[in-house]
């Protein structure tokens, strides 16, 4: 029996997430991102198509690398304005029964103590349906506006993220024992103080001496998503992430990535089968190949050249306004997402701003699959067979249209082929994906469940 694909919808609380300019398409609803109905309608649609999760990306900051200015981003609505992702979780959960909600939050912008409370609250409200996409951030504009002069250096951001996660594990796994809350009306004991522990965290970046603020939520630690692609990022993902995202157009790089992350996870003592990898793709599907191709050509008419370059400049840290439209890109060292410029200058293809805008403008850095359900299903199956990915993180050209087409045309075809679920499993997001409610025992986070033992070990080392 072949494995069943996981589908995530890749969204963001802004207009035209990975398709700059397409907000102007007459079918696009993404400009309604600030209305709850936009999100609840989308979640219900995705639930009809048995999507595992709706995954909300986020940045704190704006894209001002292109031409040293935020003008192109602001004018074209390139991930600015951008609203808070976490506030979508409650309403989406209320409007649906099963779909997971992946929320992005950066280890560079919020203290782990307050973030632990915010994500645990969402886990309570959604009855255990949240995931956390752990990012370290790449926009200098965000750092400047919260009073830091600049972002920390790339690899240092991952060192901080490691300690950040340790604090989160201590708070969510260790501080409150399973039976700490007794709600004993007779004895007037709500929670047993002997079972609520101070975490005593004293590290290089964070000091968190006290107790966690929340009682254990259905999953305790939310399902952990991550998308590192540098050496430091991949190591972090292999050690901690349960769902890993990769975004690059070719199967070869994805195949190597999947094998490498699984190998590193195994070395870290984890079960590699519990580290699932999803590839970013954009899908344009319709009744026939011709109709799908025509739809794609129509979408492309709305791509904003400047908007797309502003997006890629922000991701990569390279100011693409310095290049002529047909001038091949050269390698540069930056402090943003270094793998992007590495991939675009690895000699496989001469990438120019015009080619990049044409490809990335509808749906981002993954491959674009265009065609009838048969054509697209064949392409996805070939990807799974050749790269060993576990599923796909689907971006949109036009929202909700892209997702509505996937649900209407593609999902039934994949179900007929036996490679896509026909119903949800019961339980929390982690139970649906992995069959267990909490982090598995071999995951590093589970070590913090016996927090008093951890404190003794750490004290002995000091
Ligand atoms: C599918 C996908 C989604 C991502 N979502 C976000 C996001 O919402 N916010 C963010 O700051 N970075 C996001 N990133 C960037 C990653 O967190 C990461 O920084 C990037 O893949 C580069 O890896 P590196 O950090 O190891 O250099 C995303 C990356 C991918 C592939």
Tell me how far the alpha carbon of residue 187 lies from the centroid of ligand 1, in angstroms: 50
Angle CA 105–363–360, to nearest 5: 105
Q: Cα separation of 20 and 364, whole Å?
A: 9
Asked if 121 contacts 305 with a C-beta cutoff of 8 angstroms, the reply is no
Check if 248 has its Cβ closer than 6 Å to any atom of ligand 1.
Answer: no
Asked if 52 contacts 434 with a C-beta cutoff of 8 angstroms, the reply is no
**In the block, which residue shows the tokens 């782990």?**
112
Tell me how far the alpha carbon of residue 79 lies from the centroid of ligand 1, in angstroms: 14
Tell me how far the alpha carbon of residue 58 lies from the centroid of ligand 1, in angstroms: 9
How many whole angstroms from its chain centre is CA 27? 26
Best of 56, 110, 137, 337 for a ligand 1 pocket test (most atoms within 8 Å of beta carbon): 337
Q: Cα separation of 235 and 230, whole Å?
A: 8
Q: Which residues pair with 391 in a beta bridge?
A: 6, 278
In this structure, the residue with its CA closest to atom 30 of ligand 1 is 227
Q: Cα separation of 299 and 399, whole Å?
A: 12
Using alpha carbons, list the distances in angstroms from residue 68 to 72, 318, 390: 10, 10, 39
Tell me how far the alpha carbon of residue 302 lies from the centroid of ligand 1, in angstroms: 25
Q: Cα separation of 413 and 330, whole Å?
A: 42
Tell me how far the alpha carbon of residue 456 lies from the centroid of ligand 1, in angstroms: 36
In this structure, the residue with its CA closest to atom 1 of ligand 1 is 245
Best of 135, 234, 261, 335 for a ligand 1 pocket test (most atoms within 8 Å of beta carbon): 135
Long-range contacts of 174-177 (CB under 8 A, 24+ apart): 174/199, 174/448, 174/449, 174/450, 174/451, 174/454, 175/199, 175/211, 175/212, 175/451, 176/211, 176/212, 176/214, 176/215, 176/216
Asked if 11 contacts 29 with a C-beta cutoff of 8 angstroms, the reply is no
In this structure, the residue with its CA closest to atom 6 of ligand 1 is 57
- DSSP class of residue 82 equals B
In our burial notation (b when 16+ CB lie closer than 10 A, e otherwise), range 289-313 reads eeebeebbeebbebbbbbbbbbbbb
| CA of 135, closest atom in ligand 1 | 17
Classify burial at 129, counting beta carbons within 10 Å of its beta carbon; exposed 0-12, middle 13-18, buried 19 or more. buried
What percent of the chain lies above the pLDDT cut of 70? 100
Best of 57, 101, 227, 338 for a ligand 1 pocket test (most atoms within 8 Å of beta carbon): 227
Q: Cα separation of 81 and 74, whole Å?
A: 8
Cis peptide before 400 (omega within 30 of 0): yes
In this structure, the residue with its CA closest to atom 20 of ligand 1 is 228
| CA of 134, closest atom in ligand 1 | 17
pLDDT of residue 2: 65
Beta pairing, strands 391-395 & 276-286: parallel
**Cα–Cα nearest to 21, from 94, 56, 86, 72:** 72
Q: Cα separation of 439 and 287, whole Å?
A: 42
- DSSP class of residue 88 equals G
Tell me how far the alpha carbon of residue 227 lies from the centroid of ligand 1, in angstroms: 5
In this structure, the residue with its CA closest to atom 28 of ligand 1 is 227
Torsion of CA 291, 292, 297, 298, to 10 degrees: 70
Check if 339 has its Cβ closer than 6 Å to any atom of ligand 1.
Answer: yes
Check if 371 has its Cβ closer than 6 Å to any atom of ligand 1.
Answer: no
Q: Cα separation of 311 and 316, whole Å?
A: 9
Regions of the chain short of the pLDDT cut 70: 1-2
Check if 337 has its Cβ closer than 6 Å to any atom of ligand 1.
Answer: yes
| CA of 315, closest atom in ligand 1 | 15
Phi/psi of residue 54, nearest 5 degrees: -105, 125
Tokens of 397: 């050209």
Q: Cα separation of 259 and 265, whole Å?
A: 10
Asked if 271 contacts 334 with a C-beta cutoff of 8 angstroms, the reply is no
Domains and CATH numbers, the chain: 6-63+72-290+364-461 (3.20.20.30)
Handedness of CA 244, 270, 388, 51 (dihedral sign): negative
In this structure, the residue with its CA closest to atom 8 of ligand 1 is 57
Tell me how far the alpha carbon of residue 164 lies from the centroid of ligand 1, in angstroms: 17
Best of 13, 54, 57, 311 for a ligand 1 pocket test (most atoms within 8 Å of beta carbon): 57
Q: Cα separation of 162 and 36, whole Å?
A: 34
Phi/psi of residue 178, nearest 5 degrees: -50, -45
């Amino acid at each position: 029996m072949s494995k069943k694909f996981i589908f995530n919808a890749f969204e963001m609380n802004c207009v035209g997430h990975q398709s700059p300019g397409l907000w102007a398409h007459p079918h696009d609803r993404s400009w309604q991102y600030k209305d709850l109905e936009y999100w609840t309608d989308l979640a219900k649609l995705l639930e009809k198509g048995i999507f595992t999760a709706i995954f909300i990306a986020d940045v704190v900051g704006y894209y001002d690398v292109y031409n040293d200015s935020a003008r192109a981003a602001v004018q074209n609505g390139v991930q600015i304005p951008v609203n808070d992702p976490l506030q979508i979780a409650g309403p989406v959960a209320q409007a649906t029964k099963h779909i997971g909600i992946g929320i992005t939050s950066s280890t560079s912008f919020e203290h782990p103590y307050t973030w632990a409370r915010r994500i645990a609250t969402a886990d309570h409200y959604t009855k255990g349906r949240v995931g956390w996409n752990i990012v370290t951030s790449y926009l200098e504009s965000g750092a400047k506006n919260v009073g830091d002069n600049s972002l920390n250096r790339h690899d240092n951001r991952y060192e901080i993220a490691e300690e950040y996660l340790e604090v989160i594990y201590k708070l969510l796994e260790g501080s409150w024992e399973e039976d700490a809350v007794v709600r004993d009306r007779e004895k007037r004991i709500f929670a047993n103080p002997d079972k609520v522990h101070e975490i005593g965290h004293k590290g290089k970046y964070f000091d968190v001496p006290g107790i966690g603020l929340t009682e254990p939520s259905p999953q305790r630690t939310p399902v952990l998503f991550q998308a590192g692609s540098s050496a430091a990022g991949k190591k972090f993902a292999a050690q901690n992430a349960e769902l890993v995202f990769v975004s690059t157009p070719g199967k070869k790089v994805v195949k190597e990535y999947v094998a490498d992350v699984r190998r590193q996870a195994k070395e870290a003592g984890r079960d590699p089968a519990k580290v699932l990898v999803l590839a970013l793709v954009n899908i344009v599907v319709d009744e026939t190949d011709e109709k799908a191709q025509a739809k794609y050509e129509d979408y492309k008419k709305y791509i904003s050249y400047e908007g797309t370059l502003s997006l890629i400049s922000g991701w990569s840290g390279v100011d693409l306004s310095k290049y002529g439209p047909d001038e091949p890109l050269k390698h540069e060292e930056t402090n943003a997402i270094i793998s992007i410029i590495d991939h675009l200058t690895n000699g496989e293809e001469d990438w120019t701003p015009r080619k990049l805008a044409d490809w990335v403008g509808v749906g981002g850095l993954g491959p674009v699959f265009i065609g009838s359900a048969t054509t697209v299903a064949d392409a996805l199956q070939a990807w799974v067979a050749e790269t060993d990915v576990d599923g796909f993180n689907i971006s949109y050209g036009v929202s909700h249209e892209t997702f509505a087409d996937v649900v209407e045309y593609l999902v039934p075809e994949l179900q007929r082929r036996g490679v896509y679920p026909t119903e949800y499993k019961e339980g929390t997001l982690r139970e649906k994906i992995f069959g267990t409610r909490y982090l598995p025992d071999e995951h590093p986070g589970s070590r913090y469940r016996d927090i008093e033992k951890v404190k003794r070990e750490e004290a002995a080392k000091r």
